[in-house]
Amino acid sequence: MEFQFQFDWQAAIDSIPFLIKGIPYTLLISFGGLLIGFALGIVFGLLSINKKWFLRWPATAYIEIFRGTPILVQVLFIFYDLIGGPIDPLTAGIAAIALNSGAYISEVVRGGVQSIDKGQTEAGLSLGLSRTQTFWSVVWPQAFRRMIPPLGNQAIVSIKDTSLFSVIGVGELVRQGQIYIANTFTAFEVYFVVAILYLAITLSLSIILRFVERRGLASV
């Protein structure tokens, strides 16, 4: 028996207006979560290299737990069990991206700060700056420039991770695709368009990040 498959381009084109409705949710979850995750990453990244064990150990535990478990499990736990019952799917999605990306960003921050030569700190102190002033005025700007590529990678990963949140009913791209497929039975065409839309988002972000990275390196 010969199997023939024909790609229905008209079905793919017709799905675009409906699928685009999911892009705002995808971007809101991604960048809302990443913004919080960046703040968490700075805090826990610096705590993870603190000399005081009672600050370092909890930070390390957070990092290992959220890096060592799947984000799908994390979002389900947040959605169903955080306060004893289901919460708003959008809130659960943002929280999952924030906590998950925060753990990875913590490692980026730790690596970036530790990559700066200790002589930079000594130079700042020799100029009469306090340790806090030296860190934020001398060490952090240099470290942040080195963090830009891995931070960009994490942003792209987090955008793609939102595709898993269809399981809790968030109306992002994949969920919009599932709804459309249920009505039209054009699964291959719809998921093809979903993939193209994700690619367009991540490629646009990659171009922006490369530009920022070049500007950062040029200012060194």
- Is there a contact between 194 and 19 (Cβ–Cβ < 8 Å)? yes
- Is there a contact between 70 and 63 (Cβ–Cβ < 8 Å)? no
Digit-by-digit pLDDT tens for the chain (220 residues) are 555 567 888 989 999 999 999 999 999 999 999 999 999 999 999 999 999 989 999 999 999 999 999 999 999 999 987 666 678 899 999 999 999 999 999 999 999 999 999 888 888 888 888 888 999 999 999 999 999 999 999 999 999 999 999 999 888 899 999 999 999 888 899 999 999 999 999 999 999 988 887 876 555 5
CA-wise closest residue to 67 among 45, 90, 87: 45
Cα–Cα distance measured from residue 94 to residue 85, given in angstroms and rounded to the nearest whole number: 17
* Residue 109, SS3 per DSSP: helix
Cα–Cα distance measured from residue 16 to residue 66, given in angstroms and rounded to the nearest whole number: 35
Assigned token pair, 84: 């004893």
Name the residue type at position 111.
G
- Is there a contact between 106 and 45 (Cβ–Cβ < 8 Å)? yes
Q: Which residues of 77-92 are buried (b: 16+ CB within 10 A; e: fewer)?
A: ebbeeeeeeebebbeb
Rg of the chain over Cα atoms, rounded to whole angstroms, equals 21
- Is there a contact between 164 and 75 (Cβ–Cβ < 8 Å)? yes
Q: Which residues of 26-47 are buried (b: 16+ CB within 10 A; e: fewer)?
A: bebbbbbbbebbbebbbebbbb
Q: Which CA distances in Å does 188 have to 58, 62, 123?
A: 45, 39, 60
Q: Enter the DSSP assignment of 21.
A: T
Cα–Cα distance measured from residue 67 to residue 107, given in angstroms and rounded to the nearest whole number: 10
Cα–Cα distance measured from residue 173 to residue 84, given in angstroms and rounded to the nearest whole number: 28
Give the residue carrying structure tokens 């979850």: 29
pLDDT at 130: 87
